[in-house]
Amino acid sequence: MVPEINKLTVRQAVDGIRAGAFSSVELTRAVLAATAKHAALNAYIWLDAADALHQAGAADAARQAGQAGALLGVPLAIKDVLNVAGQPCTCGSKILKGYTSLYDATAIARLRAAGAIFVGRTNMDEFAMGSTTENSAYGPTRNPAAPDHVAGGSSGGSAAAVAGGLALAALGSDTGGSVRQPASFCGCVGLKPSYGRVSRYGLVSYASSLDQIGPLARTVSDAALLLGVMAGRDAMDATTLDKSVPDFAAALQGDLRGMRLGMPREYFVDGMNPEVAAAVKAAIARCQELGAEIVEVSLPHTKYAVATYYILAAAEASANLARFDGVRYGFRAAAGDSPIEMYKKTRAEGFGSEVQRRIILGTYVLSSGYYDAYYLRAQKVRTLIRRDFDAAFTQCDALLTPVTPAPAYRLGETMDDPLHMYLGDIFTVTANLAGICGLSVPCGRTRVGLPVGLQVLGPAFGEEKIIRVGAAFERSGGAVP
């Protein structure tokens, strides 16, 4: 059997299973063994080894019966915010303890139809609110590259699982950078699709106008493969657009000759970690060596992005999370003297401090007397941010930027200073506000070995462009193994 098959790419695993080099059961056992060996990373909230092996056995039987599938027999990890029939879905929160999903999210159903195996559910910031996975009710996830540092968030468990060899690939969700930032922190690839490219049906909502499901993987090729399986119109989600799904595999073969790639001047600012800045600028120089023309562009409203994002996301969270009240499912506090008292106790005890903070902020900006001053104004600024990108993409095919201003934080570093954590989202939230696509690809490491990511941003439904750029850069040797 091939050694360390748990560290293969998805495409290598598919080829190996088809060639008979190993079975899906053997591959799944290797992944489960790695999760046990590296349990201290706390990448998973929930695992069912027996069920995973049962799924793998069924995949092997299907293969022997002549069935095929793009992902037949490949074990994947799923962020604990996506519904998978028969599995818990806690969103990293105490308030959903005991809830079991009754159905598959559309993204899960499409992966299942392609033959994928779902090994377990990965840790996350509670209800996807955070950038470190320290806001989980189940403890923080540690970074495989440096266990005394965070894995990023909110999809930190998925990123750690992929980077640590605990899954061949994983799904995350990205509301303000929650796929791209942990991918950058952990040294793997993370892809945020355009809004409307992948169905959100079955994704527990944080901020409905910003959320997108995206893959985390070892290579751009693997991320493109998963995106191709998941993408497309879904009658269960009216926000998905009726657009044909491109051949993302074809985009993997393109080089950078003839492409114009923009450097937004607002994304290279004073105060950035110098090692991050140096790694990203070296990656941009590499893209130029590969034939791309590098042009400077401006996104002038970037300075308003964090404030705009945290107003709009909190407002939508306030509405979306109102459904968690202890009445129908999940955690319920000991009954008070009235239903209202029970609601108060359940939400006070069930939600963590960061979720409570954002619900309160969102309720405030939606309240009478403040709606126009905050929420409505933020919506207007969002339009200006989107127009900035529209203008930039008339000058270039894609943008090259840092993912974050700094590498992974030390555990506990931002817990007493949430504003510091929020400001770290400056380079990622803009893509969600504008509805465009983005990719994080490894581009180097700091002197102490912390990964650094290059962000490639493309226009709405321009995934082929960012995949082309990321794959060409990766092939050139620019990516960290």
For residues 165 and 4, the answer to whether their CB atoms sit within 8 Å is yes
Strands 189-192, 437-445: pairing kind:
antiparallel
Q: Which two tokens stand for residue 33?
A: 């063994």
State how far the Cα of 327 lies from the Cα of 410, in Å rounded to an integer: 39
Decide: 315 and 379 in contact? Cβ < 8 Å: no
Signed CA dihedral, 403, 406, 408, 412: sign only: negative
The terminus-to-terminus CA distance of the chain in angstroms comes to 22
**Active-site residue (options: 154, 158, 205, 440):** 154
Phi and psi, residue 241, nearest 5°:
-95, 150
Strand partners, 203: 82
Token pair recorded at residue 192: 């945020």
Structure tokens belonging to residue 35? 């999760």
Catalytic residue at 440?
no
Nearest alpha-carbon partner for 213 in 323, 83, 125: 83
Is the CB of residue 172 less than 8 Å from the CB of residue 160? no
Question: How many Å is the Cα radius of gyration of the chain?
Answer: 21
Q: Which residues contact 246 (CB under 8 A, 6 or more apart)?
A: 463, 464
Element containing residue 342 per DSSP (H, E): helix 339-350
Q: CA 150, CA 410: separation in Å to the nearest integer?
A: 6
Burial class (CB in 10 A: 0-12, 13-18, 19+), 186: buried
**Measured between alpha carbons, how far is 159 from 277 in angstroms, rounded to an integer?**
22
| CA 232 vs CA 103, 376, 465: distances in Å | 19, 31, 18
Residue of 79, 101, 131, 155 marked active site: 79
Other CB atoms within 10 Å distance of the CB of residue 295 = 13
Closest CA to 215 of 201, 196, 230, 194: 230
How many other CB atoms are found less than 10 A from the CB of residue 413? 15
At 29, the amino acid letter reads R
Residue 399 β-bridge partners? 262, 457
Q: Is 192 among the catalytic positions? A: no
Q: What is the DSSP letter of 375?
A: I
Of 24, 155, 173, 178, the active-site residue reads 178
CA separation for the pair 118, 412 (Å, rounded): 31
Q: Tell me, yes or no, if 131 is annotated catalytic.
A: no
Q: Which amino acid is at 251?
A: A
Query: Catalytic amino acids?
Result: 79, 154, 178
